[in-house]
Amino acid sequence: MWRIGIDEAGRGPVIGPLVVGALRVSEADLAKMHEVGITDSKLLSPEKRVELDAWIRQQGWDFELHVSNPAEIDRAMMATNLNDHEVSLFAALARKLRVEGEGILQLDACDSDASRFGNNVASRIDWPWHGWTMDSRHAADLHCLAVAGASILAKVERDRIIRELGESLGIDIGSGYPSDPKTVSALPALLEGDTPHDCLRWKWKTVSDAWHAQYSTKVPQRPPGPQSAQRTLF
């Protein structure tokens, strides 16, 4: 029997991507996942997450990662909302990992209504799958090992991207979350010029407020480009 676990990292930051991870393991693999300490990535130190990320990758299990950059997130929020965007990403990775046989598709629900989130994902993946059931719940990364493994993969990937972004910019951008003083301190440098930096989520109020505080007379608008098409703060 199979488990496919799906989770995300980086839903709330103002800097950097949202990363969705999906991991498929057999029921027989769950015991060794428990033995090595697989759990909700938020409960692990950065060093332990990196160690377990490497361990997961060494097992030969199938997994998928999708990196949704800030432009993609902003476009999605202009069209619908963040929940709908995550439904689309979860559904896309579920389709990629689908296999014949029996299993449970386990989702860490991003909606306040976990059942609604599961139903929305189901509507985009030709559900029901023969022999499969779905478990969409809050805190699935704490209760479902496949989801916990997916959360580790997603979190380590996002942390790597944020670290490399900070190195390329030559500034300490912190975690990218608006509650992080380092992130807040980095915003002025990322708002210099005619448009905010591409690493910023322009639809986030933290970014728009900072822009208006720094350039009260400017209306930021990104010129057309291959990744971002067009994004505005309004």
Residues 78-92: what's their mean pLDDT? 97
Q: Using one digit for the tens of pLDDT, what is the confidence trace for 172-215? A: 999 999 999 999 999 999 998 777 899 999 889 888 888 888 77
pLDDT of residue 228: 45
Q: How far apart are CA 8 and CA 107, in angstroms?
A: 10
DSSP code at position 20: E
First to last CA, the chain: 48
Q: Which residue has the higher pLDDT, 10 or 208?
A: 10
Per-residue pLDDT for 41 more than 70?
Answer: yes
Query: The whole model's pTM is what?
Result: 0.91
Query: Is residue 135 very low, low, confident or very high in pLDDT (cuts 50, 70, 90)?
Result: very high
Q: Using one digit for the tens of pLDDT, what is the confidence trace for 104-113? A: 999 999 999 9
User: Is 226:75 a contact under the CB 8 Å cutoff?
Assistant: no
Give the lowest-confidence range in 63-67, 126-130, 168-172, 189-193.
189-193
Share of the chain above pLDDT 90, in %: 84
Mean pLDDT for all residues in the chain: 92
Q: How far apart are CA 159 and CA 146, in angstroms?
A: 20
Q: At what angle do helices 205-214 and 181-190 cross, to 10 degrees?
A: 50
Q: How far apart are CA 120 and CA 127, in angstroms?
A: 10
Structural domains in the chain, CATH included, are: 2-163 (3.30.420.10)
Per-residue pLDDT for 227 more than 50?
Answer: no
Per-residue pLDDT for 31 more than 90?
Answer: yes
SS3 breakdown of the chain: % helix, strand, coil, rounded to 5?
45, 15, 35
